[in-house]
Amino acid sequence: MTADGMLAEAGLPSDMIKKVKEFRTKYDCDEDDRIPSPDHIYYGPEVWKRAVAALLSGENLLLTGPKATGKNVLADCLAFVFGRPQWNVSFHANVDAAYLIGTDTYDGQKVVFRPGPVYECAMHGGFGVLDEINMAKNEAMAVLHSTLDFRRIIDVPGYERIHVSPAARFVGTMNYGYAGTRELNEALVSRFAVLRMPLIEKADLKKLIDASYPGINSDIESQFIELFYELQDKASHSEVSERSVDLRGMLDSLKLVQNGLSLGEALRMTIVDKSFDTYEEQLIHDVIKARIPEELTSKEVFG
């Protein structure tokens, strides 16, 4: 799918689509190999509209919400339709300011500056995805305040001050309740427009499955969709953990079926066995078994 095709599929207003195209024309891209090519499109016109409006306005974007709401899919799609190279930072306890901006290194002859992903993104006008931003240490994120606010500069100690490209945007993603996460401080949150991601609608989930796996049996697809929402409901009532609410895993199970596994075997590998609690594992297995016959093969699923 082309960028223009994805914009049309997203259901954006025509004037907004025009502005995105003008953005692509205005800003050249010197890192074409870093423009993502999403495997899936994000479905949800209201979310698309808010996200695109924020980016067109020069805002950075913070995507929040529970698991399986498509935060990373949307981030990839946004970089794709805007035609911008993408740099990804996956935060953990050991990510520090030097990793984000850059540090000195020895090239065999002299000490040189090795730029980090935020520096590269700022220089090349990229879209920087700050994944699981609420796992970052506050002291690491503090160095980005001048990058993310109206100043749009990066001071590199011992080197020059650089100005962030007008095409650059930063998209943070965060889940609540994961081990190692923390509350974001007020100063950081104020530098983002916040978009709470809703659970995907049934009609949009059907579009996603149809686009990814054309020819799927409609009855099986219907049960597949209901299975996702049943697991989501059980997770919301703490009957099972959120590990089972894995939309990526469910879609991957269909790929395994195409390559020779039964649907039961595929769902065990992509959903059931991701739980390491025996009781929960059996409960998830029973929920799946009640909706979908385990012995279904590729011919029956896609026949």
Residue 93: predicted pLDDT: 76
The yes-or-no verdict on residue 284 having pLDDT over 70 is yes
The yes-or-no verdict on residue 303 having pLDDT over 90 is no
Structural tokens at position 281: 């594992």
The yes-or-no verdict on residue 113 having pLDDT over 90 is no
Contact by Cβ (8 Å): 238, 229: no
- Rounded to the nearest 5°, which phi and psi values hold at 123? -70, -40
Residue 167: predicted pLDDT: 95
Q: What is the mean pLDDT of residues 208-212?
A: 90
Contact by Cβ (8 Å): 56, 62: no
Which superfamily is assigned to 3-196 in CATH?
P-loop containing nucleotide triphosphate hydrolases (3.40.50.300)
Residue 163: predicted pLDDT: 92
Cα within 13 Å of Cα(167), Cβ side:
24
pLDDT digits (tens, 9 = 90+) for 51-85: 999 999 999 999 998 887 889 999 999 999 999 99
Q: Where do the domains of the chain lie?
A: 3-196, 202-302
The yes-or-no verdict on residue 17 having pLDDT over 80 is yes
Q: What is the mean pLDDT of residues 107-111?
A: 78
Length of the chain equals 303
Residue 31: predicted pLDDT: 85
More confident residue, 241 or 269: 269
Residue 263: predicted pLDDT: 92
Rg of the chain over Cα atoms, rounded to whole angstroms, equals 21
Lowest mean pLDDT among 105-119, 221-235, 281-295: 105-119
Residue 176: predicted pLDDT: 67
Residue 160 CB-density burial (10 A; 0-12 exposed, 13-18 middle, 19+ buried): exposed
Contact by Cβ (8 Å): 97, 146: no
pLDDT digits (tens, 9 = 90+) for 227-268: 999 998 988 888 888 778 888 899 999 999 999 999 999 999
pLDDT digits (tens, 9 = 90+) for 116-160: 899 999 999 999 999 988 887 777 787 888 888 888 998 887 778
pLDDT digits (tens, 9 = 90+) for 152-194: 998 887 778 889 999 999 999 988 655 555 677 788 889 999 9
Residue 155: predicted pLDDT: 83
Contact by Cβ (8 Å): 120, 126: yes
Residue 91: predicted pLDDT: 86
